[in-house]
Amino acid sequence: MTSCSPSPSIIAFMDMATTLSELQQAHAHMLKTGLVRSTFAASRIIAFAATAPSSSPQSLAYAHSVFTHIDTPNSYTWSTIIRAHANSPTPENALLLFHQMLYSPVLPDKYTFPFVTKACSLLHAIEEGQQIHARVLKAGLCTDVYIGNTLIHMYASLGYTEQAFCLFDRMIQKDVISWNAIISGCMEQGLMEDARRLFDEMPERNVESWNFMITWCIDCGLVDDARSLFDRMPCKDVVSWNAMITGYMRASRFTEALRLAQDMQLAKVKPDNFTLVNVLSACARVGALSQGEWVHAYINKNGIEISGFIATALVDMYCKCGNLEKALQVFSNTKKKDITTWNSMIGGFSTHGNGEYALRFFSEMSADGFAPNEITFISVLSACSHAGLLNEGRRVFNLMTQVHEIEPAVEHYGCMVDLLGRARLFEEAEDLVNSSLCKDKPVVWESLLGACRSHGNVELAERVARRLVELDPNDSACYILLSNIYASMRRWDDVREVRGRMRTQKVKKEPGCSMIDVDGTVHEFRAGDRLHPQADEIYRKVDEMADRLKSVEYVPDTSQVLFEIGEEEKEIALLRHSEKLAIAFGLLNTGEGATIRIIKNLKVCRDCHTATKLISKVYGREIVVRDKNRFHHFKDGFCSCKDYW
């Protein structure tokens, strides 16, 4: 090619191109007019096709094709195509081109070395990286800050921290990128104390520096330390907010994650898809339906495509916040579904007790070309268990093992044990556990123990509880379930003996709590507490509820009180259960006829289940309760679980 200058109009057209096809039009014109012989013009084509934001494997291949037809590529052209491959899924091609360049008349320069060094980092090619370092020294470019930074990152990220520190210490000029490179490398190698020391020594920090340290704190579980750094940041970007929200999510501090998301909105920082998925996940965990609906409205308003992770997060949020109809609407309107979207919808049907719909969608998913995976079968088996579909559950379990050849995991066995236990097939359930590869996993025995409690099988319960204590003496579940069985039979001496063992083992029982979202704020209640600002009103409402329940012949089930006190005291204790306090709050603070949605961390007790059915009738409210295992939709005196939970 010659060095003739192309027409300014062609260059302008290339600069205005936004797609590969538009660029190809400019290229065709240059071929027709002979302007393609200009090395400068060809380099512009390569630069656009290889580095534009919309570039793809096809555009990179096109750029490479153009490059191979240049007779005498200059250093800019070489560096551009090397850079493109270094940033692609095939960085090894960058090294191949670099070796070709070494045999060309053009020598690599300070714009070439950083990209081949990056390729070495990605490929873990330390020997090639050291050779490139030697060429940098030979070319007299060892003082170039940009090259030095990429070399530091290469050595540190590949575990050669001594060489990285040596380079860093010898740098005559260091910029903030130099410090970030060595800190990032230390963090990748788990050298957290070195990373923290370097951060404290930095003469200046940019937002990336702060983000490194926030991420470091979060990865070490130091969420409050991360928040302290976050609050000190002079300028935060979306990565900063996402890192902190992620920290709260990992620590199961979902309410704080939602509050931070609200602060992000007030700070006018635009959330990205990662933010939206995290916030939707937090909404799902605490039942914050109104905030989840706000996120959905934001997605629609900003024209964000509902597919992939976004679609799955929306379906999951609506399912877990009790609005199955809205979840189904999102699912139906999602054109690009994947296996996780299907799993979320089937899982939603499962937790809401709609076993028949779960089975139907399971069939439709297969017909749509998606092969079920382990998570799919957990949801379908769980759906069969919640709905009491014994034969269907057995069929699905056999389908999983024999047709799809999926090895059952502990969750699958847990579902089957629960299904058999609910059907009072205790011997078959126990045989299944003993014959499985998961017989040493407490969770499958806990499923059997739960079934024993539901049906009062004390003999088996005692045997299963002993097995659970052998497997994990510090797990509170077996003690609580066995104690509850004894209490329901008024075997108070046995209750005291079990509770005594808990104290000896220092086993802590998870306290029951219920949460309700009203006007975007999540309110949490524990049994008998008076911490809420509206406590006096709430307790007056509870007393009113009790009076109205008596009018429809409600009789408190005092067998659910798991300690030995008088009958009247037991009735009062039942009225102070956390879900009843949450319902009273909902009646006080939501409009007439509005649905009350509650999330409970434990399984709802029999008395609260009976009372909530009647409350839904006497107050004319639909009440949706998500407990530890499933959803209950109470309406007109009935529950969607049909008293099977």
Mean pLDDT (whole number) for 274-301: 94
Structure-derived torsion over alpha carbons of residues 632, 637, 642, 643, reported in degrees to the nearest 10: 80
Q: Which two tokens stand for residue 266?
A: 């007030």
Q: How far is CA 395 from the centre of its chain?
A: 31
pLDDT score, position 54: 46
- Whether the pLDDT of residue 414 is over 80: the answer is yes
Whether the model clears a pTM of 0.85, i.e. scores above it, the answer is no
Residue with tokens 């769980």: 382
pLDDT tens readout for residues 610-636:
999 999 999 999 999 999 888 999 999
Q: Which two tokens stand for residue 196?
A: 């923290």
pLDDT score, position 27: 66
- Whether the pLDDT of residue 419 is over 60: the answer is yes
- Whether the pLDDT of residue 198 is over 60: the answer is yes
With bands split at pLDDT 50, 70 and 90, how would you rate the model's confidence at 14?
low
Q: Which two tokens stand for residue 60?
A: 């990179």
- Whether the pLDDT of residue 250 is over 70: the answer is yes
Mean pLDDT (whole number) for 575-581: 91
Spatial CB neighbours of 136, under 8 Å, sequence gap ≥ 6: 113, 142, 144, 147, 151
Which percentage of the chain shows pLDDT scores above 70?
90
With bands split at pLDDT 50, 70 and 90, how would you rate the model's confidence at 405?
very high
pLDDT score, position 224: 95
DSSP letters, 165-204, are HHHHHH-SS--HHHHHHHHHHHHHTT-HHHHHHHHHH-SS
With bands split at pLDDT 50, 70 and 90, how would you rate the model's confidence at 2?
very low
Spatial CB neighbours of 224, under 8 Å, sequence gap ≥ 6: none
DSSP letters, 256-321, are HHHHHHHHHHHTTPPP-HHHHHHHHHHHHHHT-HHHHHHHHHHHHHTT----HHHHHHHHHHHHHT
Q: Are 490 and 510 in contact (CB under 8 A)?
A: no
Which percentage of the chain shows pLDDT scores above 90?
51
pLDDT score, position 21: 66
Q: Which of 60-74, 265-279, 477-491 has the highest mean pLDDT?
A: 265-279
DSSP category for residue 626? E
pLDDT tens readout for residues 425-482:
988 988 998 888 888 888 888 888 878 877 778 788 878 887 887 888 777 777 777 7
Q: How far apart are CA 1 and CA 462, in angstroms?
A: 88
Mean pLDDT (whole number) for 369-379: 95
Mean pLDDT (whole number) for 498-509: 78
Amino acid, res. 311: A
Q: Are 318 and 324 in contact (CB under 8 A)?
A: yes
pLDDT score, position 34: 60
Q: Are 266 and 249 in contact (CB under 8 A)?
A: no
Q: How far apart are CA 47 and CA 44, in angstroms?
A: 5
